[in-house]
Homo-oligomer: A and B are copies of this chain.
Amino acid sequence: MNPSIVEAFEPLFYPHSLAIIGASAEPAKFGNIILSAIMEIGYGGKIYPVNPEGGVINGLKVYGSLQEIPGDVDFAILTIPAPTVRGALEECLRKGVKGVEILTSGFKETGSPEGIQMEQELGQIAKQGLRILGPNCFGVYCPESGLTILPGQNFSRETGPVGFLSQSGGLCADLGQVAKGLGIRFSKMVSYGNGCDVGACDLLEYFMADGKTSIIAGYVEGLEDGPRFMRILAENRGKKPVILWKAGLTATGSRAVMSHTGSLGGSSAVWIAAFKQAGVIQVQSAEELIDAIYAFLYLPSGAGPRVGVLGGGGAISVAASDSLERLGLSVPVFSPPVLEKLRPSFPSVGNSLKNPVDLGNPMIPPSLLRKVMEAAGEDEGIDTLIIIQILYYILFQVRHQQGMDERPLSQFSSQPELLTACQEVKQKYGKPIILVLPDISTDARMVDLEIEWRRQRDNYQAAGFPVFKTLDRAARALSHLIAYHRLRADSAGR
């Protein structure tokens, strides 16, 4: 642990006051977007817009320069042309600012000698007593203090266990939106861009030490100091899970990394092997990253690889078998005594009771599904349950829409009854349960189905059950969780 880094980063994440240098009244400019975002999310400290033109923006007095601000300023956000950044940083030093984020681009990532030179100068100034994020970044989102990135004005104000570091601001902007509905909450999310001062190594070290972070996730393109990154990961081994998307592993991707943040991508095989060695959960897309975080949030460390797959619609169970086996999970046949116990409830009409359990009907009554859940709960050969539910309420939904049924939609849904069954089975047998609710609504005229889907998902999530849209995604996320805990147990056992 490293308490000093927590202290050093305090002004970046918990400033009492901040200045926006380059604040603007023009809605499309970064200098307006970031100011509005921080005001809208509800930052509690003092906000000082700075612009030589003065005036008033969003009801706040604009100062002509940093020095004109009467009070102390902890933190400065820079959205001014690249050639003026250096001077502004020197002003920051004079004003006693401790943390800076530079949204401005036009530095190392241009590949031009001037850009590279300018960025080196920023790094030099940082050594005189500033911690700098960026340049070419979207900044910090810290729900606890009310800081947010551009454009993150509607991110959740709830704080949570996920610490996220990203060389890409665009990914932060996406992730903050997607996270909202999934109940994924952040301690901090940091877009660090080119990383002229604070980089992936520092942020990894910070999140390891930060008492408010228990799951670390990140998107990195190049690494400023590979050996240091690996040392920090080695120290973290067995402590906090690290979910990492290392992009730029192909030849073209590596070239794009160079253009994007000016860092070197590095050889694919070397990174993959080194990360594996360090116990890192490696992902290759935003979707896989989000799903892995989601699994770590909602599933216990004891989730095991022997899966009972229960649902209706046969392709789904066959697909489940293929998909789980490809990911190293198994779908073992129920034990004979469990099968014998089940049989009386299921006269053999189109039902496979072996596992995957295909109840042959996409509209399965929850009472019937519950019997199979109990059996899978009881079976000592099954670790984890995946319940697939499709279409049950579409039929009723449509009838309702067409005025063929007057009852409110919630009456038609089997989901509340199934949720109760999930809770009781989980309670009784202690096995994790994952829901797969395919989201088949695409029609612009059927958005109410989407609304209903989200409502049901929220209910499951509130009760602690993760909900995935496809079985492939559920299986992949589960396999990441299992691989991580298996590796962790193996190294603890040595």
Residue from B154, B221, B287, B320 in contact with A318 in the complex, judged by beta carbons closer than 8 Å: B221
Residue from B256, B287, B312, B402 in contact with A321 in the complex, judged by beta carbons closer than 8 Å: B256
Min CB distance, A60 to chain B, in Å? 15
Answer whether A248 and B321 are a contact pair too, CB < 8 Å, given A286-B470, A350-B109: yes
As a 0/1 sequence over residues 257 to 292 of chain A, the CB contacts with chain B under 8 angstroms (1 = contact) are 101110000000000000000000000111100000
B325 and A252 contact, CB distance less than 8 A: yes
As a 0/1 sequence over residues 13 to 44 of chain A, the CB contacts with chain B under 8 angstroms (1 = contact) are 00000000000000010000100100010000
A330 and B252 contact, CB distance less than 8 A: yes
B318 and A253 contact, CB distance less than 8 A: yes
In the complex, A189 has a CB within 8 A of chain B: no
Residue from B82, B174, B360 in contact with A440 in the complex, judged by beta carbons closer than 8 Å: B174
A252 and B171 contact, CB distance less than 8 A: no
A173 and B362 contact, CB distance less than 8 A: yes
Min CB distance, A339 to chain B, in Å? 12
> Closest B-chain residue to A177, C-beta based?
B440
B350 and A106 contact, CB distance less than 8 A: yes
Stretch at the interface among A197-205, A371-379, A447-455: A447-455
9 closest A-B pairs by CB: A170-B313, A105-B350, A181-B442, A168-B315, A259-B352, A253-B322, A260-B314, A106-B349, A253-B321
Stretch at the interface among A63-71, A125-133, A389-397: A389-397
Separation of A105 and B347 alpha carbons in the complex (Å): 11
In the complex, A427 has a CB within 8 A of chain B: no
B residues less than 8 Å from A144 (CB atoms)? none
Query: Can you list 24 contacts pairing A with B, beta carbon distance less than 8 Å?
Result: A105-B360, A112-B348, A168-B316, A177-B394, A178-B440, A178-B442, A180-B443, A181-B443, A247-B319, A247-B322, A252-B322, A252-B324, A252-B330, A253-B322, A255-B321, A255-B354, A256-B314, A256-B320, A256-B331, A256-B352, A260-B317, A444-B451, A447-B447, A447-B451
In the complex, A228 has a CB within 8 A of chain B: no
Answer whether A442 and B315 are a contact pair too, CB < 8 Å, given A285-B472, A362-B173: no
> Closest B-chain residue to A331, C-beta based?
B252
Separation of A285 and B391 alpha carbons in the complex (Å): 18
Residue from B177, B250, B399, B458 in contact with A322 in the complex, judged by beta carbons closer than 8 Å: B250
A322 and B248 contact, CB distance less than 8 A: yes
Q: Give how many copies assemble into the complex.
A: 2
B residues less than 8 Å from A454 (CB atoms)? 442-444, 447
In the complex, A182 has a CB within 8 A of chain B: yes
B360 and A136 contact, CB distance less than 8 A: yes
In the complex, A169 has a CB within 8 A of chain B: yes
> Closest B-chain residue to A175, C-beta based?
B440
Separation of A199 and B424 alpha carbons in the complex (Å): 43
